[in-house]
Amino acid sequence: MDLKFARVELDVKPKKADLNKIEASIEKEGGVILYFDRENSHKDLLELQDYFEEKGKSFYMSEVKFGLSDNEYMYQVHIIN
C-alpha cells in the first residue's frame, strides 16, 4: 500500500504517508483527520480502511472537491480510536 498525502501546492509532488506515524498519531490524539491525494487508488484506501477496522478503529472516508474540474478532488479520511 503506497499512499500519498494531499498536495499543499499544485506543482509539488505529494508526500508519502507512513502507516506507523499515522498509527502513533491516532494512539496519541485518539483520532485524526487526514487528506490524501487523488493519485491514490481507491483500492489502496479501502485496504487502509480494512487495516484500521481490523484494529477496532472507526474509519470514515469521503471525496472533497476543491474546484470545478472533475480531477480537482482529494480524499478526506477520519480515523477514530
Which residue pairs from 24-32 have beta carbons closer than 8 angstroms and sit at least 24 positions apart in sequence? 26/52, 26/57, 26/79, 26/81, 27/81, 30/80, 30/81, 31/78, 31/79, 31/80, 31/81, 32/78, 32/79
Per-residue pLDDT of the chain (81 residues), as tens digits, is 789 999 988 889 999 999 999 999 999 999 999 999 999 999 999 999 999 999 999 999 999 999 898 889 999 999 999
With CA atoms as reference, report the closest residue to 51 among 26, 6, 19, 7: 19
Q: What is the pTM of this model?
A: 0.90
